[in-house]
Amino acid sequence: MVCRPGFENDPNEIMRHSAAHIMADAVQRLFPSAKITIGPTIDNGFYYDFDYPAGFSTEDLKKIEKKMAEIVAEDHEFKREDISKEDAIKLFTDKGETFKVQIIKDLGDVSLSLYRHGNFVDLCKGPHVKRTKDLKAFKLLKVAGAYWRGDEKNPMLQRIYGTAFAKQSDLDNYLKQLEEAEKRDHRRLGKDLDLFSTMEDYGPGLILWHPKGSRLRKAIEDFWRDQHVKGGYELVYTPHIARLDLWKQSGHWDFYRENMYTPMDVDGLEYELKPMNCPFHIQIMNRKQFSYRELPVRLAELGTVYRYERSGVLHGLMRVRGFTQDDAHIFCRPDQLETEIKTVLEFVKFMLGSFGFKEFQVYLSTRPEKFVGSESDWETATNALKDALESTHTAYEVDAGEGVFYGPKIDIKITDVLGRAWQCSTIQVDFNLPVRYNMEYIGSDGAKHRPIMVHRALLGSIERFVGVLIEHYAGAFPTWLAPVQVQMIPIGESEIPMAESLATEWRLAGLRVDVDGRNEKLGLKIREAQLAKIPYMIIIGAKEREAGRVAVRSRQAGDLGQMTASEFLKKISDEIHVKQ
């Protein structure tokens, strides 16, 4: 165990690292047969995996937390000891810690260290707080299953999650944030609002979009397509499968096979579900010889791809096996690269801003140890990314050595209303695929030249982006995105014809309108529309029918009084136009 690189001086990180040790000590005091494995820190917390087949209950977590408090009060010193690999193996073998022994044996020829507090000892590099009493504020959160080393063929372990902070007030604020996040959980809201479901019995990680969820998705995709056409992109559609040879030529079969599915036999040939759209876009480009005057070419697709994810990591819309990638590829000359990247950056900000995201974390990832292409190409591409970031006044951090093997990249994370960061947009320069597929264009000198390929996604996975939107807005989407923008509520049977007529008229004007013509009380209909988080309710009673007007009720502002149908149509249309 070790604090994550770059966090060694973070007091909260050190607290969490120490809390993991104290939790493991508490577990073994209460459940002596439990074997320890690994216990790293993670964002805002920590976890520790235990081999304990009986499993831990919610009541057990309370007991463990109480025992942790006792260990803290005992005020043990955290002591570091350097140890040889052989002695470490003997120590943990004698203790019966078979998982620790396996970890040590797999480490190779390295120097090792231990940390002790009281009678507990763990393999660890540190750092820790000085004494157990220095652990100020902690909380155990939940228990989950986790396979040893993430392999389903290995034993199932018990993973206990917790968090710790240097200040009690910080812990209290974090727990409130978790409570709010639970209320906004997209899986619960997706069910409550009837947006989507998953096929646990027939295909985990595959999404069924319900009518209302499909309306939401269509609103996103229609906006996406319209803006791409305005931005000079050509929309394309590509197949869901191709012969395995395509993925061998692209390198995916060699470098990405663990995330791909078993090939299927079609007429004696091997076909593969596509994990990426890029090889198809290259095939479209290679259909003809392009001139330098025709570049850049921008191809965009909402392409559904399929990637293998272990069942244990599947998570609603956030982690799935089949998803639609907000994908595009730009093929350009070297002298066009910086301008194209700058344009994409501005496009990213516009698109994400339109969905209500204004705060971004931006990272420039540079050349890793293993890479393809020349160092001069990498320098040119990295400088183009850097210059584009600076010319658009985009604050960023350098993530040294974290570029992909085929080129440097920019990654952009959005911050939601709870302050959580979500990876969405990426801009990647690729030297690899143009070579693998022998891409060429005719330059101004009449000779053949290699284009530069830029991979870019603005929203990322549509599924994941919808999940983020659900949690960001707690399901109360702005009017332009709401699956149902207007709920017509006729009070009596005599008002249904007027409600249906207006609904038809407004649908033709582009609104998403439903009519609640059930024989139920008005209060019930209003409550259910509020629970469905519908932006506007149009209530039509005898007075409204006779006056030719409608009573408008807003989700946010409450009763807005009566107005004509045309007045309301203008009001809501203006609101949609400005993306509210």
Q: Which residues are catalytic?
A: 278, 307, 325, 327, 329, 409, 455
Coil, helix or strand at residue 195: coil
* Residue at token pair 């516009």: 350
Distances (CA, A) of 139 to 20, 120, 174: 11, 20, 10
Beta strands in 152-240 (DSSP E): 156-165, 196-199, 203-209, 234-235
CA-to-CA separations, 180 to 173, 316, 327, 392, 529, in angstroms, rounded: 11, 18, 32, 35, 22
Give dist(CA 432, CA 430) in Å, integer.
6
* Main-chain dihedrals φ then ψ at residue 137, nearest 5 degrees: -145, 120
Match 């907000």 to its residue by tokens. 326
Distance between CA atoms of residues 167 and 216, nearest Å: 41
Report strand pairing: 409-415 vs 264-266: unpaired
Q: How buried is residue 575: exposed, middle or buried, by Cβ count under 10 Å (0-12/13-18/19+)?
A: middle
Structure tokens at 462: 């549509």
316 phi and psi angles, rounded to 5 deg: 50, -130
Are 145 and 126 within 8 A, CB to CB? no
Residues 252, 276 contacting (CB under 8 angstroms)? yes
Helix, strand or coil for residue 91?
helix
Rounded Cα distance, 189 and 191, in Å: 5
Tell me the β-bridge partners of 143. Answer: 160
127 cis-preceded (ω within 30 degrees of 0): yes
Mapping DSSP onto H, E and C, the string for 327-348 reads: EEEEEECHHHHHHHHHHHHHHH
Helix (H, G, I), strand (E, B) or coil at 235: strand
